[in-house]
Amino acid sequence: MANQSVNRDGEGEVRTRAVVFERPQAVALRQLELTPPEPDQVLVDVEWSGISTGTEKLLWSGRMPPFPGMGYPLVPGYETVGRVAASGETADVVPGQRVFVSGARCYGEVRGLFGGAASRLVADRSKLVPIGEKLGEDAILFALAATAYHALVPDERSRLPELVVGHGVLGRLLARLTIALGGRAPTVWETNPKRAAGAVGYDVIDPASDTRKDYGCIVDASGDASLLDVLIQHLARRGEIVLAGFYAEPLSFTFPPAFIREASIRIAAEWAGDDLQRVKSLVDGGALSLAGLISHRAPAAEAERAYQSAFSDPDCLKMVLDWRSA
């Protein structure tokens, strides 16, 4: 590794402080040894990491369905921003560069299903996106923004949503991206009055007040497995419902209303391919703003409290851990 005294003989091993899910609902901050880096990997000193209230909450609660790589203990986190401390011989990124990191597996026997919630980490060069200085902590939102982009633009035939369900961070990014991509401002449903505020260029309404029945495309970011029948009732003929959340419970729907509408249901997974780079281009060009989406912050030393708050406080839109003093 360039500009860093790291070898593969056990001498000068690099250690890190990392959040570890020991078991469901048990969070600890532990000292871990990093696995030796390869020539195409990068050592990163982490500045901030975000807490996901979707997949990470399911992992924390023990409700995560069977998933490749899952198990305990594990290091969570796929929303990480830091600076390159050293880069491998074949990794084309210079020390000192600020980067977004979409995950790491570098903790030996401790699983790194996502692996970004640590003070230092070793990551593949392919997991890094170099970013500018001005974004700061807001850059942890690249993962959710890329997920939203993937839900909206899986191919050239896609249509942008007229309705977004849920005004959490993912829902807000879906609405902002719809506008950034040239679509009309979508309607957003939100049942929690505390989350109705913060709209930028679109309207947020209570779904009980919505009488429209001809939405051509509805994107659900709620993760509520019971909503399909409701959404189908508001869909236009040959309309599409995109499932952009993560659903721990089985999904089902009543067939006749969907049959009458010839409804399509599409599942959107996490980002893929060039989604991160496309989002970066929109952010760098000023079409997409990531500002105003982080509501809570905590020092990494208070990780246990921070995870509890992120998963239980209805006022917490997005929690960020600050690793700079860790």
**In the chain, which stretches have pLDDT less than 70?**
1-12, 68-69, 154-157
pLDDT at 45: 98
Could you read off the pLDDT of 94-152 as tens digits, one per residue?
Answer: 999 999 999 999 999 898 878 999 999 999 999 999 999 999 999 999 999 999 999 99
Give me the residue spans of the domains in the chain.
Answer: 15-135+290-322, 143-267
Could you read off the pLDDT of 256-287 as tens digits, one per residue?
Answer: 999 999 999 999 988 887 899 999 999 999 99
Q: pTM of the predicted model, to two decimals?
A: 0.91
State how far the Cα of 215 lies from the Cα of 218, in Å rounded to an integer: 7
Fold of 143-267: Rossmann fold (3.40.50)
Q: Are 317 and 295 in contact (CB under 8 A)?
A: yes
pLDDT at 3: 44
pLDDT at 157: 66
pLDDT at 13: 74
User: CA distances (Å), 244 to each of 35, 174, 217, 230, 282, in order?
Assistant: 34, 10, 12, 16, 20
Q: In this structure, which CATH number among 3.40.50.880, 3.90.180.10, 2.60.40.2240, 1.10.600.10 belongs to the domain 15-135+290-322?
A: 3.90.180.10
| SS (HEC) of the chain | CCCCCCCCCCCCCCEEEEEEEEECCEEEEEEEECCCCCCCEEEEEEEEEEECCCHHHHHHHCCCCCCCCCCCCECCCCCEEEEEEEECCCCCCCCCCEEEECCCCCCCCCECCCCCCECEEEEEHHHEEECCCCCHHHHHHHHHHHHHHHHHCCCCCCCCCCEEECCCHHHHHHHHHHHHCCCCCCEEECCCHHHCCCCCCCEEECHHHCCCCCEEEEEECCCCCCCHHHHHHCEEEEEEEEECCCCCCCCCCCHHHHHHHCCEEEECCCCCCCHHHHHHHHHHCCCCCCCCCCCEEEEHHHHHHHHHHHHHCCCCCCEEEECCCC
